[in-house]
């Protein structure tokens, strides 16, 4: 099976009916850049910058952040890398900030990610400078985690733009283009897309946190791991709304949660109209195999019917359709 997958490395992730799917990978450390070469993914759709903060004994200095981002961009070459600004705090509390982050009753819903970064903007400014320096002369893609309301996107973007203006004044080299994206992980944001989407260059749906909040079920609690189905109509209808809104605004939308790395779940996402998945490196070639054996159009029509009908068992229906089609 492994050898079979290896043969897929240089083949396009294209369905039988000619739909090209972008298969990107998730990463977080410098060594992950090797996986990009091994899997030949289309780029890094989620670079979790907090990993560097989590493995360090003290807050990483700007030079170290710049060096990491630059190394990742160099390794990626012409392929895009999307840097997510730090998602620390909550259950990803870093020891050297513990005094500040403190103990929380509900860390996943606590003072974390962009919430923390906007309040402690010194942290975010340093990261912005590191990203701008690393991206000098090339395209820089940045996205912000855990946005709950559109103003948080504005504030985060303004912070980076301020640093850019500072560098401009000093005649320092800058990225040629900066694309700004929002992560949709908080359900409330799905009802603010009319305000959010005109502001962003891209949207990335973090289904790990999103489903945790949709079901009110701790993603880290093994007792709940199999209790709720990613293929339930509640999740799929929710995602469909987001996809439709993005299509209407012409905003590229990616799924970057673990869901996209599981073949049947990924198939459901394609059937919803998702054309970009960012997944764990080990899943890139197996998902490519799935994509290449799929004829998408009939599945898209079937998915619409299943979700419009009450109480469909989408897992069973999709699984049967996939078996029948030899996916
Ligand atoms: C997510 O929440 O789906 C996501 C991709 O971010 P993380 O897993 O790092 O929280
Ligand atoms: Mg998340």
Model confidence pLDDT, tens digit, residues 86-124: 999 877 888 888 878 888 889 999 999 999 999 999 999
Separation of 146 CA from ligand 2 center, angstroms?
7
CB 44 within 8 A of CB 60: no
Does the CB atom of residue 185 touch ligand 1 within 6 A? Answer: yes
Separation of 110 CA from ligand 2 center, angstroms?
13
Model confidence pLDDT, tens digit, residues 46-55: 999 999 999 9
Does the CB atom of residue 260 touch ligand 1 within 6 A? Answer: no
Does the CB atom of residue 265 touch ligand 1 within 6 A? Answer: no
CA of 208, closest atom in ligand 1: 3
Separation of 187 CA from ligand 2 center, angstroms?
12
Distance in angstroms (rounded) separating the CA atoms of residues 140 and 81: 8
Separation of 292 CA from ligand 2 center, angstroms?
29
CA of 204, closest atom in ligand 1: 5
pLDDT in 10s for each residue of the chain, 327 residues: 556 788 999 999 999 999 999 999 999 999 898 999 999 999 999 999 999 999 999 999 999 999 999 999 999 999 999 999 999 987 788 888 887 888 888 999 999 999 999 999 999 999 999 999 999 999 999 999 999 999 999 999 999 999 999 999 999 999 999 999 999 999 999 999 999 999 999 999 999 999 999 999 999 999 999 999 999 999 999 999 999 999 999 999 999 999 999 999 999 999 999 999 999 999 999 999 999 999 999 999 999 999 999 999 999 999 999 999 888
């Amino acid at each position: 099976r492994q050898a079979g997958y290896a043969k897929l490395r240089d083949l396009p992730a294209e369905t039988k009916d000619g739909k090209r799917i972008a298969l990107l990978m998730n990463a977080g450390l410098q060594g992950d850049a090797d996986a990009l070469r091994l899997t030949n993914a289309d780029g890094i759709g989620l670079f979790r910058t907090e990993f560097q903060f989590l493995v360090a004994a003290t807050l990483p200095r700007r030079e170290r952040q710049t060096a990491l981002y630059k190394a990742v961009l160099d390794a990626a070459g012409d392929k895009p890398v999307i840097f997510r600004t730090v998602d620390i705090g909550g259950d990803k509390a870093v020891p050297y900030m513990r005094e500040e982050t403190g103990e929380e009753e509900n860390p996943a819903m606590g003072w974390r990610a962009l919430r923390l970064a906007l309040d402690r903007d010194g942290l975010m400014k340093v990261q912005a400078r590191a990203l701008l320096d690393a991206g000098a002369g090339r395209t820089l893609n940045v996205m912000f985690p855990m946005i709950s309301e559109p103003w948080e996107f504005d504030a985060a973007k303004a912070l980076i733009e301020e640093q850019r203006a500072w560098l401009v004044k000093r005649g320092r080299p800058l990225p040629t283009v900066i694309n700004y994206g929002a992560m949709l992980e908080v359900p409330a944001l799905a009802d603010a897309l009319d305000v959010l989407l005109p502001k962003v260059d891209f949207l990335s749906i973090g289904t790990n946190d999103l489903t945790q909040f949709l079901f009110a079920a701790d993603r880290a609690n093994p007792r709940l791991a199999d209790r709720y189905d990613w293929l339930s109509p509640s999740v799929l209808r929710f995602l469909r709304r987001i996809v439709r809104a993005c299509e209407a605004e012409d905003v590229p939308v990616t799924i970057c949660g673990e869901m996209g790395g599981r073949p049947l779940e990924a198939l459901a996402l394609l059937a919803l109209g998702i054309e970009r998945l960012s997944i764990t490196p080990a899943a890139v070639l197996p998902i490519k195999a799935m994509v290449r054996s799929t004829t998408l159009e009939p599945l898209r029509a079937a998915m619409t019917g299943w979700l419009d009908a009450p109480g469909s068992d989408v897992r069973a229906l999709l699984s049967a359709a996939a078996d029948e089609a030899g996916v």
